[in-house]
Structure formats: structure tokens, C-alpha cells
Amino acid sequence: MLFTSANFLLFLLGLFALYQIVPQKYRWAALLLGSMAFYAFAGPAFLIYICTTIIVTYFCTMRMRRVWEKCDVLIAATNDREERRQLKQAAKAASRRWMITALVVIVGLLAMVKYTDFVIANTNALLVWVGVDRSFGFMRFALPMGISFYTFQTIGYLVDVHRQKSKSLTNPLKLALFVSFFPQVVQGPISRFEPLAETLYSGESLNRTHLSRGGMRVLIGFFKKLVIADRLWPALAVLTTYPEEYRGAFYLFSIGLYAVILFMDFTGGIDITIGVAEMFGVKLPENFNRPFYSRSIQEYWTRWHITMYTWFRDYLFYPMTLSKGMLRATKFARRTLGDGFGKRIPVHLSLLWVWFLTGLWHGATWNFIAWGLANGIVIMLAQEFTPLKNKFHTRFDTAKTNRIFIAAQIFWTFWLMNMIRSFDIYVGVRNTFGMMASVFTDFGLRDFLTRGVSELTLYTSDYLAAGAGILVIFWISYLGRGDVDFRDRLSTRFSWPARYAVVGLLLFMTLVLGAYGYDYEARQFIYNQF
């Protein structure tokens, strides 16, 4: 069910009515019913996967709960410090076994549907390469909606229960709601259990404040998606479908256009997600913080898809870096390569491994793996050049505040990120590198200026409409500077007639300039495929 469809709006109205008439202590059950109905709409068979994840997670976390409860009872019965330590170690080991059991099943489900054909394709290619006249058939599993997102959210819950950072839910239906909450199941954000649980089960009544603030956020999401992302997409489709015709300057235009489309599509979807949740009084974490103002790739990833970045950092990078095996590797590297560089080798290896998995999480193709490794390599090189950067800032201490220097950093980061992101839109790693090289070997500025962008299925009016939309979003982003919610700044700096005028303008532009209507093929959100 597409967020920007009439069906979704009708679904919301029905759920609002059900939610409001149900007693407060059961309103979370209304959200669960709505979430399961929403997921079933995408494909009833997909319920098998998400319900399996819920059942296995519930069973294993309950076993982990009993392990720790028994440990607490035994510890309370003894004053021997060594015995207490042994009891904790035994409980931790038992809890880890149940956690691993759950992880094997739910990660196995994700791997089965998402990566089986990727493994088969590469196995077949390897057999051809070694001269074996045999191949395996593809399984062609249908990819359940949002499986990567709810799987990662569930993994976080399992690990937190094992670490005793979260208490396991004794009600399986409440766990089901946490895993399947319908606004975020499509494309995130990836929530942590404790913060989300504070509002997810509270059953707050629908009220004017939540409806108006959430509705404003939803409207902006519709605006980004329909007025900008979907209107510009046909041009990008032409550019990337025929890469041999659109090289050099056209390549730069393509990756710049994709940056705009992806930002508007992804953040628009997250705006709708957070806005719908807010209408029900549920608070979801923010996923973006003006990423195009970043001065480095590392900073960019603290501003873009924040919940994914922090998930990989907290549940993979830190545990891997601090593991016993990596600590031993650090000692070995320091002995053989020197204290300075040697101690950074294990960190770099962990970084590259995590970014490899990040790329693989995005998609089962070598393009996404190359994308992930490219991010990791750039961040690793930036860390290696940090001492040189510090020396530069020591000598030119005004550079940090110089606007021209800051603008140059932002410009460089934006285009470097665009080039890395081109692995998203071109088929084949070799082809993508060829498109990058065309900037230097076949720029074709005259061809670009002569042909322009008029032949890319869009009219001048389309570019003007999208451009006007971008200016509106830039103004909204400016209102939200300094970690202040733009709606708060709007309410404090503008009178109520001006606020209604802003909402009216957004609604009018969405209805008049939005890409939708008869004979129009609505596009699903880009991150829905993950």
C-alpha cells in the first residue's frame, strides 16, 4: 500500500476511527491490527516471514529472561564473590546461546529471500570460469516488504535483552507491534525498543496537537515525493537506461539529479512515517539532519540514515573492534607494524567489514558491495590523514570558520558522495567506473549544452515545478537549522494566518504540481526494496 495513495489515506481514516473508539489500554492492539492489515495488503504470504520472526524472537527472549531471573535468585542466595562471578558468566553464556539461536533463524530468513539468487548467480559464474558445464536454477523468492528493516530492529532488541539493556516483553502481541508497527515497517527508521516503547503502548487519544503537527509532517512528505522526486524520476530513468549515450557532463547531471531524487524520496517517506506515528502519539527517531551540509563523508553518515548508521556502529563495529580476537590482532599489529599504524589496522579492518555488510544489506549485487566498500575506504583514508588535517588547521586556524573554505568542503563532500552513490543507479561495477572515468575522458560539455535536458521525457514546466519545490524545501530546512523542529520555529515566528498560508501553499502545490492522476504509474519509495 503506497503511502501516497488514496488507499493509504482511507486506511488511515479507518484506523483513526477504530483507535479512538477502543479503550485506552487496548489502543496498542488497534495499532497491531492495523499494522498486520497493512502488511497483509502487500502480500498475505509475507505474513509468514514477519510472524516467524516475531514467534522465534518471543520464545528465545523469554528463555533469556528466565536465565537471568534464575541467575538473580542464585546470586541473592550466596555471598561468595567468585561464585557470583561464575553464575553471571554461566547465565551470560546461556543467554548468548538463545540469542544466537534466534539470530540464526531470523537472519537466515533474510539471507534466504534476499541473497540466495545472488549466491547462485556467482556460483554459476564461477563454474563457467573454471570450465564446469553445469549451473544451478534460481529460487526467485519474492522479497517481503521492509524485511531488512524489521529484521535489524528485531536484532537490536535481541541484543539489548541479552545485554540486559532492555527487559523482554512477556506479551507476544506487544512484541508483534514493536516488530510490525506499520508506518516504519516500509523503510524505517530503525527504532530501539526502550525509547519506542515509551509511547508505542501508551494509547494516547487523538488530539489536535498530534494531528496537526503530524499532519504537517505528512504533507511535507507528500510534497517531497510527488512534486519533486516522482516528477524528476523519468529523466533519471532515461539517463541511466542508456548510459552509453549520456556520459561525461550528462553523468554529472545524472548523479546530481539522483542526489535530489533520493533525498526527496527517502526523507519524504520518513516524514510521512514520523508524521503518521505522531498522529497516534508515537514518537519515532529522526533519520536525517540536513546531510548536504556535511563537510566530510564521515559527518555525512552521522546526518544521513542516522538510525542505520548508529545500528551498524553499536551492534557491529564497536563489538567487533572490542572483541578479544580483535584486541589480540591489535597487539600483533603493533608489534609488527609499529605502535602508531599498527593499532589502527584492526579498526580499519572492522570498518571495511562493517561497510561491506552495509553495502550487502542495501542489496544483493556487487554494485552495492562496491558502494559500501567505497564509503569505508574513503572514511578510512580520512582517518589516516587526520594528523595532516590537524596540522593544517593549527597553521591556518581561521580555516574552520572561513565561509569559503567551509563551502568548498561541503561542495567536495556532496560530489564525492554523489560519485560513490552512482553505484546505485548504473548496472555493473565496471560500467559504473566507466561512467566515472567519462568525466575525464569524454566530458562533452558542448554536447550537453546543445542537447540539454529537453530530450529526457520532461518538459520545461516539470523542471520549473520541481525547482520551485526544492526552494520550498530549502526554506523549510533553513527553518529547522540548529536542531530546532521547523514546526516550532514556524509557530513562534509566524502568526496563525501566515502559518495557515504556508500549509495552504504546500497543499496547493502538491495538488497542482504533484505527479499523480489518471494514466500515471505511481512509484513505490526507493527504500521499500530494502
Is the model's pLDDT at 289 over the cut of 80? yes
Is the model's pLDDT at 374 over the cut of 90? yes
Question: What's the pLDDT at 265?
Answer: 94
* Nearest C-alpha neighbor of 84 from the set 94, 74, 92, 93: 74
Find the mean pLDDT for residues 373-402: 86
For residue range 189-226, list pLDDT tens digits in order.
999 999 999 999 999 899 999 999 999 999 999 999 99
**Structural contact between residues 419 and 378, judged by C-beta atoms closer than 8 angstroms:** no
Find the mean pLDDT for residues 140-167: 94
Question: What's the pLDDT at 149?
Answer: 94
Confidence label for 393 from pLDDT (cuts 50, 70 and 90): confident
Is the model's pLDDT at 519 over the cut of 70? no
Mean pLDDT comparison of 331-335, 410-414, 479-483, highest-scoring range: 410-414
* Nearest C-alpha neighbor of 287 from the set 272, 298, 279: 272
Question: What's the pLDDT at 32?
Answer: 97
For residue range 456-481, list pLDDT tens digits in order.
888 888 999 999 999 999 999 988 88
**Between 202 and 393, whose confidence is greater?**
202
Question: What's the pLDDT at 521?
Answer: 56
In degrees, rounded to 5, the angle at the alpha carbon of residue 503 between the alpha carbons of residues 497 and 509 is 130
**Structural contact between residues 432 and 420, judged by C-beta atoms closer than 8 angstroms:** no
For residue range 104-113, list pLDDT tens digits in order.
999 999 999 9
Find the mean pLDDT for residues 402-413: 92
Give the predicted TM-score (pTM) of the model: 0.92
Find the mean pLDDT for residues 327-351: 84
Spatial separation of the C-alpha atoms in residues 303 and 307, rounded to whole Å: 10
Residues of 88-118 as b/e, b for ≥16 C-beta within 10 angstroms?
eeebbebbeebbebbbebbeebbeebbeebb
Question: What's the pLDDT at 421?
Answer: 95
Find the mean pLDDT for residues 320-331: 86
Is the model's pLDDT at 346 over the cut of 90? no
Confidence label for 496 from pLDDT (cuts 50, 70 and 90): confident
Question: What's the pLDDT at 529?
Answer: 57
Instruction: For residue 141, count other CB atoms closer than 10 A to its CB.
Output: 13
Domain parsing of the chain, residue ranges: 16-122+135-205, 206-284+427-530, 293-425
In the DSSP assignment, the letter for residue 205 is P
Question: What's the pLDDT at 93?
Answer: 96
